[in-house]
Amino acid sequence: MNKFDELLNLTNELNEIERIFYEIFRILIKRPNPDDEDLRDLENGLKQLGNLSRMIFTLSEKCLEMENKAEQSRNAGKNFEYYASLEPKLLDIREDIIELTVSTQNDPSFCANVAWSLLFKQKVNTLVGYSAVKPELKSVQAHNFVTRTLYDLLPPCRNCFCLNLE
């Protein structure tokens, strides 16, 4: 588990504590003669918890940013050609994507997500990432880099269902 996940777990735990505090608050406030001091203490506790979980969330975002930067520098110099030299089938997929781009260019609608999921995702997943045969291609970094590079070659979505959802 990386630092980002650890911090995210911490945030979830804090949210749970916050929820319990809030439940207690709701029970206390319903009593016939609510004790103002108890309520104020709880209210303050809730505020502090809120601040704490916001701080941890900000920290986790910074952490993620740092990990992304570290991943980028690990990937520097490892471009698509490097991965394709280890797995030439990646070049075939790139060709297929370019062909699809040309053959669909006059279509009124196109969905990059659907095209990716139906035509390319499975193939790429067997070649890079956990299912890869070559050890150099077995990493999450290799998988993410190749996926991003190939996906970005697809034409952007136009008049598609996933745009309607936004």
How far from the centroid of its chain's Cα atoms is residue 49's Cα?
26
**Residue ranges in 58-97 that form contacts with Zn ion under rule CB under 5 A:** none
DSSP state at residue 134: S
In whole angstroms, what is the distance from residue 123 CA to residue 91 CA?
Answer: 12
Most distant CA pair in the chain, distance = 76
Please identify, using beta-carbon distances, which residue of 72 and 159 lies nearer to Zn ion: 159
In the complex, least distance from residue 160 CB atom to Zn ion, rounded to whole angstroms = 3
The helix-helix angle for 36-75 and 3-30 (nearest 10°) equals 160
115 makes contact with Zn ion (CB under 5 A): no
Please identify, using beta-carbon distances, which residue of 104 and 141 lies nearer to Zn ion: 104
Are residues 45 and 51 in contact, defined by beta-carbon separation less than 8 angstroms?
no
Considering only the stretches 6-14, 120-128, 131-139, 158-166, report the one whose residues sit in contact with Zn ion under the rule CB under 5 A: 158-166
Indicate which single residue of 63, 84, 111, 124 sits in contact with Zn ion (rule: CB under 5 A): 111
Which of helix, strand or coil describes residue 39?
Answer: helix
Please identify, using beta-carbon distances, which residue of 70 and 118 lies nearer to Zn ion: 118
Residue recorded with tokens 């490892």: 78
Considering only the stretches 3-11, 80-88, 109-117, 135-143, report the one whose residues sit in contact with Zn ion under the rule CB under 5 A: 109-117
Size of the site for Zn ion (CB under 5 A): 5
113 makes contact with Zn ion (CB under 5 A): yes
Please identify, using beta-carbon distances, which residue of 55 and 114 lies nearer to Zn ion: 114
- Phi and psi of 155, rounded to 5°? -65, 150
160 makes contact with Zn ion (CB under 5 A): yes
Cα 111 to Cα 29, 120, 156, 161: the distances in Å are 52, 13, 7, 8
What are the residues binding Zn ion (CB under 5 A)?
111, 113, 157, 160, 162
